[in-house]
């Protein structure tokens, strides 16, 4: 991809996630000229936004296909270059475990990250919806990251620079959605950017999109079940219910 297309691709994920609102948020913004929703409307917007995420991920995929200017699979490797699909799955699982170790280190080392885990967005809503987000959203998100990384490397960026550059919009999109994938603070944004960097290095090391996608799904699903087991599912009003 050209440098301009790479830049547009980098911006596409956070822009789509942050600035395309579901109906409750859109109505409030039109009527009040403010993106700050009152708490009761924010709750409703996040509930609607969980389902609306699938529309955003679909739009992201469409944008990526247009920016790639050719079939994305010509730019990103899907299947195993050597070995078998079992090897791809195994290394994807190992990548997911590495991400979990990084998240554990942040929880242990940062009281803020540990505290905000108690109000994590995935504690609300049906488990089936969130698992679908991890699968469908993970596909779109990791294809975005793989295409951006490939484009940056073709433009002459080093592996570390490419991973750092993609980590920033990755973290911004995670904190800026409705519902946000993480609650905003300097510590959580930094932690999420680090996880995005690790994901980027996994792809650059493996050169395989499927391995990256598996790592993302393993990490998000395991983190989800840990949070639900640790803190229980929260009702829409924020009260804890049985896990």
Task: Kindly state whether residue 43 falls inside one of the protein's structural domains.
Answer: yes
| Domain extent at residue 15 | 3-231
**Summary count for the chain: helices (H), strands (E):** 10, 0
Task: Kindly state whether residue 36 falls inside one of the protein's structural domains.
Answer: yes
Q: Structure tokens of 79?
A: 């299947």
Domain count, the chain: 1
Task: Kindly state whether residue 239 falls inside one of the protein's structural domains.
Answer: no
Task: Kindly state whether residue 237 falls inside one of the protein's structural domains.
Answer: no
Task: Kindly state whether residue 236 falls inside one of the protein's structural domains.
Answer: no
CA distances from 112 to 32, 57, 99, 160, 184 (A): 32, 29, 19, 27, 10
Report the distance separating Cα 31 and Cα 29, nearest Å.
Answer: 6
pLDDT of the chain, 243 residues: tens digit per residue: 788 889 999 999 999 998 888 777 777 777 777 667 777 777 777 787 788 889 999 999 999 988 887 666 666 666 566 567 888 889 999 999 999 999 999 999 989 988 888 888 888 888 999 999 999 999 999 999 999 998 899 889 999 999 999 999 999 999 887 888 887 778 889 999 999 999 999 998 888 888 999 999 999 999 999 999 988 876 555 555 544
Report the distance separating Cα 79 and Cα 62, nearest Å.
Answer: 22
Task: Kindly state whether residue 240 falls inside one of the protein's structural domains.
Answer: no
- pTM for this model (two decimals): 0.87
Task: Kindly state whether residue 115 falls inside one of the protein's structural domains.
Answer: yes
Task: Kindly state whether residue 243 falls inside one of the protein's structural domains.
Answer: no
């Amino acid at each position: 991809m050209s440098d301009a297309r790479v830049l547009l691709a980098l911006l596409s994920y956070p822009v789509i996630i942050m600035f395309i609102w579901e109906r409750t948020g859109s109505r409030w913004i039109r009527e009040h000229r403010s993106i700050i929703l009152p708490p009761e409307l924010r709750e409703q917007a996040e509930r609607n936004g969980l389902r609306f995420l699938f529309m955003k991920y679909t739009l992201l995929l469409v944008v990526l296909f247009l920016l790639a200017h050719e079939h994305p699979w010509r730019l990103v490797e899907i299947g195993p270059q050597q070995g078998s699909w079992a090897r791809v799955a195994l290394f994807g699982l190992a990548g997911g475990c590495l991400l979990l170790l990084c998240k554990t280190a942040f929880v242990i080392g940062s009281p803020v990250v540990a505290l905000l885990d108690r109000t994590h967005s995935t504690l609300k809503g049906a488990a089936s919806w969130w698992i679908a987000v991890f699968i469908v959203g993970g596909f779109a998100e990791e294809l975005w990251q793989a295409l951006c990384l490939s484009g940056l490397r073709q433009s002459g960026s080093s592996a570390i620079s490419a991973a750092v550059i993609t980590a920033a919009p990755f973290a911004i999109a995670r904190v800026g959605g409705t519902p946000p994938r993480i609650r905003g603070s300097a510590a959580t944004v930094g932690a999420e950017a680090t996880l995005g960097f690790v994901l980027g290095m996994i792809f650059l090391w493996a050169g395989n999109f499927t391995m990256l996608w598996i790592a993302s799904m393993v990490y998000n699903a395991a983190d989800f079940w840990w949070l639900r087991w640790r803190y229980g599912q929260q009702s829409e009003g924020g009260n804890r219910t049985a896990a």
